[in-house]
Structure 1
Amino acid sequence: MAALHITDIEAAINWWRARSPSIDGITACPEVRALAEVYGLMVYQHEHEVDEDGMPPKAHEAWLAWYATTPDAPCIAICSTSQGDDICKGCGRSFDEVQNWTVMTPGEKRVTWRRITMEGTAWRFNRYAERSGESAA
């Protein structure tokens, strides 16, 4: 399985906090507590990633619920891998990532999303940002 980045754990915690806010300002919902345990260990151990398989089941379930709210594929319908490019100019994925997207795990997809976002060179992040719902930088 893939290694989930700490920013994904943070995003999932914040999503759950907004979805199930604390009634008393102190007590967090079970999903936040499960994810916070993983997050706390990552911070304590100075780890930026956690193995998706190694997450406690409740934390993984909470992460998957957040994941289901994120966009699935980064495709913007300009696929240069179909024209022979190793890396798609439209979305930034490699030929193999495009071909295997439907069988990739959620964690593997998030690793790919993180990479293409950090690179920021794909057209989805600049020239055709309107196609992805993102504003051009």
Structure 2
Amino acid sequence: MAINREFLGREYTSPEPYEVTRVKIREFADAIGDANPVYRDPATARAAGYPDVIAPPTFAIVMGMEGAGQAMFDPDLRLDYSRVVHGDQSFRHSRPVRAGDVLTCVTRIRDVKALGGNELLTVDSDISTVDGEHVVTASNMMVVRGGAAQGSE
């Protein structure tokens, strides 16, 4: 069954703000194997011009996946998760995520299209401070293998 195109533009909001800590940043840097000291040492980060340690550029996936998960598992979307593979990921930063940030995330279904018998679902997660300052937009495109309805390409 094809993805419900009526979901284009639908938004999913994070249930509560996410507080970024030095520990979470260090754990993420460890998980991706990046020993950059600006992710770990406040003095090094300040010497580089930041108010505190900063997160690796892909850290926003932590917040973006919550909204993307809300979208993907919404039963009315009709997405067959058993057929999903990751297609593409990108990040557009206004500034780095940094320790002490308190962030909110709004994820929006940006695109649904059929291509070669598959369906492509793209979601954008806009991540901002609780004061409204945009920090990063994480875009995630998923491929639903064999999901395109006949005649929808």
TM-score by length of 2: 0.26
Q: Which has the higher contact order (CA 8 A, sep 6+)?
A: 2
Please state which structure has a larger fraction of its residues in strand.
2
